[in-house]
Each structure stands twice: as structure tokens, then as C-alpha cells.
Amino acid sequence: MPSPSACAGPENEWAGVTGPQRREDLSDLEGYHSPQVDVAVRLNTNESPYPPPPEFFEAWTAEVSRASAHRYPDRAARQLRSALGEFLGQPSGRLFCANGSNEVLQTLLLTYGGPGRTALVFEPSYVLHAHIARITGTGVVTGERRPDFTLDPDTAVRLVEDHDPDVVFLTTPNNPTGMVEPRETVEALVERITVRAKPGVLVVDEAYAEFSPWSAIDMVADGVPLVVARTYSKVWSMAAFRLGFGVAPETIVDELEMVVLPYHLSVPTQVAGTVALRFTGDMDSRVSSIMTERDRVGAALAALDGVEAFPSGANFILFRVGGHPRTPGAAADGQATWEGLLEAGVLVRNFARWPRLDDCLRVTIGRPEENDAFLAALKEVLAS
């Protein structure tokens, strides 16, 4: 074996070696990225505009300081699952906790997806459903939403019948459109998946459920092929902690625990999730204030000429510049608007060139002063 110094030089026996080759089925895959730009107003990633209360950090720090840092964390996250189950009105055995809701989705696809299996998504929706499916070797079947981004329940059920997917993803409120799916749509999909000969599972992604008028968590029961994925990132102001969870029948939770990496959830994260539940009043207050601001911003967007704002049950609003899908070859007004907002120090999420989302941008609801800055900048950009 050559010495390190030999390997360091430009002329060594390893020259020309290209390294390992990634899987061919990943050759067209692009990474999932959201710009992290240092601007005065950052409203592009649906984070909470407010940090956790100081009392949270005091309690969390005290708990973590007593932890045995030389020992692995509780693999089963029993204390967190017990507290979370009590908060949700579900037995702890139906709770699966992970590093953000994305790890919940990944573990589900590692368990029930994979080569020779398929996942059904309804586009446009949360891009990581299809992205993680492809990473895990799972085939992707794409169902279409209506032009107004609503989902026809009969079409959704028919796609399940026609393609017999192993995993079905439904996001409500939907990201990036903000649409809230009716309970009847979830019930219809659960019923169709339950009665078919091939077992499958419906995954309802509820990352923004606290802003929505209803939740599917009360539909979760043993024997029902339903998983509800949630996150602490939004209303709990804990995006930096990376904590999410799934609510599912105990048999599904047991199978997920067999697949997920051991000791995957750190002690500081487990403690944060448990301590946060002591501050539900703060959470409720923030949800209320953000919803009030969402309605105010939505009304202001709707009043602007050339802007189409879509109804939202989340902490963000999708809007289209130009008021209608552009014709092929026409100028992308959304792209120019996004660039103009960025120059004005306001960062929103750019979907202007995404399939089905021509000229659409998404703004996270921030603090009142941030929302005012966004609206003022948007008016100036549109006027110019």
C-alpha cells in the first residue's frame, strides 16, 4: 500500500481512478434544496417566525444537563412517546418518533416500498414523497390534481384500483398549495386500501395540521392501514431540533422500529420533544396569531391586480403572478417577481418553473412586520 505522502501527489498509482459509481436509477435525481440566503426577511421554508419561549430552553437545558452523555439514548424513546401519546389521545405504542417527519417517511418506504413496489403521489405535492421513494428504489405513480389544485376523490380511488400501490401519500394541508383535503377523501382511500387483496398503507402527511380545521389522527386504529405523519418543526418552533413522529397501528410501529437505525434519536432531541409539551398554551397562541396573519396576507394578495392567491389551511400561501397559467413560450412572470423580491431583501419559495406550478411563488407567514415588508416589496416589484 502506498504511503499517504505518495497518494497525496498528482502522479500516483491511483491517478485516473473515478471512484464508485452511484446507482443508475439515481442518475437523473436532483437533491432537495431550499435556498438559505442571508436576507432581512426570510419567508421561504415554512418555519415558525417565533423562537421557543425562554422557559422552554431553561427546562430543556436542565433536563439535558442531567443526562448520561456516555450512554446511548433510549432506543424506544419511551418517555417522549408516552408524553406525546397522552397529548394526542393515542396509546404510546402507536407512536413512532424520528429525526423530522422526513425520517418517518423514509422509514415507511424502507419498510413497505423498495424494488418491485410502488408509491402513489398526487401532484403537485410535497416533493420529498416521490424523492425519497426513488432513493429507496420504490417506483412512483403520479396522479394529477385539478387545475385549481383540488383532488378529485373518485380519481384518487380509481388510481389505487388501477395501480395497486404499496404506499399512498396524501398531504393535507397540501404543500405547496395549502389545500385541505376533506375527511371524506381520506376515508375513501382508507376504505379502498383496506378491502383490496394486496395489503398497502395510506400515509397522510400532516406537517401543517395545527393550522387546519381537522386531523386524521383520530382515524388511526389498530387494523386500519393508515399512518399520520407530523412534525415539531412548525408550530413548536423546533425546526433546528429535527423531530417528527408518525401515528400508526402498533403492528406498523413495531415494523418501523425493526427497520430504523438503532439509537437514531438523540437525547437532546427526545428531551426537547417531551419538554415542549409543557408549553401547549404558547403553541396555541402562536397558531392563532399566524392564522390571523395568514388571512390578512391572503386578503392583501387577492386585492392585487395580476395576482391569484390560493386558499390555504397551512402557515403559508401559494400565489401565482399573472393570475393564470402562462402559455408556452411566454415570459415567466413568477421568476422575475421572485428575483425582484430577493433584490428587495425578501426571500420566498420559487416554484415558477416547476411542473404544474407555472409562475407560482409560496410565502411563509411571518411576523406582522415581515409580512408587511413582503407585501410592500411585492407591490413595488409588480409596479416595476
Verify that 170 and 251 share a domain, yes or no: yes
Are 215 and 170 contacting, i.e. CB atoms less than 8 angstroms apart? no
| Inside any domain, residue 273 | yes
| Inside any domain, residue 2 | no
Comparing 24-33, 49-58, 228-237, 374-383, the range with the smallest average pLDDT is 24-33
Mean pLDDT across 120-134: 97
What pLDDT score does 331 carry?
47
- Return the C-alpha cell found at 104: 418517518
Flag whether pLDDT at 162 surpasses 60: yes
Verify that 273 and 289 share a domain, yes or no: no
| Inside any domain, residue 31 | no
Verify that 240 and 121 share a domain, yes or no: yes
pLDDT, tens digit, 9 for 90 and up, residues 269-300:
999 999 999 999 999 999 999 999 999 999 99
Torsions phi, psi for 119 (to 5 deg)? -125, 140
What pLDDT score does 263 carry?
94
Flag whether pLDDT at 367 surpasses 80: yes
Flag whether pLDDT at 16 surpasses 70: no
Structural domain ending residue among the three candidates 240, 263, 279: 279
| Inside any domain, residue 119 | yes
Cα separation, 384 vs 365, whole angstroms: 24
| Inside any domain, residue 10 | no
Taking the chain, what is the end-to-end CA distance rounded to the nearest angstrom? 65
What pLDDT score does 326 carry?
45
What pLDDT score does 15 carry?
63
What pLDDT score does 57 carry?
96
Residue 371 CA neighbour count, 13 Å, CB half: 22
Verify that 174 and 255 share a domain, yes or no: yes
CA max distance for the chain: 71
Mean pLDDT across 219-240: 95
What pLDDT score does 181 carry?
97
Q: Smallest Cα–Cα separation from 174: which of 121, 219, 137, 222?
A: 121
Are 153 and 186 contacting, i.e. CB atoms less than 8 angstroms apart? no
Verify that 347 and 292 share a domain, yes or no: yes
Flag whether pLDDT at 36 surpasses 90: no
Residue holding cell 420529498?
128
Verify that 262 and 294 share a domain, yes or no: no
Domain range for 202 is: 71-279
Neighbours of 23 (CB within 10 A): 10
Verify that 97 and 150 share a domain, yes or no: yes
Cα separation, 15 vs 29, whole angstroms: 28
Note the pTM of the prediction, 2 decimals.
0.90
**Number of domains into which the chain is organized:** 2
Mean pLDDT across 90-101: 97
Cα separation, 199 vs 382, whole angstroms: 51
Verify that 303 and 256 share a domain, yes or no: no
pLDDT band at 330 (very low <50, low <70, confident <90, very high): very low
pLDDT band at 199 (very low <50, low <70, confident <90, very high): confident
Verify that 312 and 292 share a domain, yes or no: yes
Cα separation, 84 vs 243, whole angstroms: 12
Q: Parallel, antiparallel, or unpaired: how do β-strands 167-171 and 118-123 relate?
A: parallel
Task: Taking each helix axis as running N to C, give the angle between helix 267-276 and helix 54-65, from 0 to 180 degrees, rounded to the nearest 10.
Answer: 140
Average pLDDT of every residue of the chain? 91
pLDDT band at 32 (very low <50, low <70, confident <90, very high): low
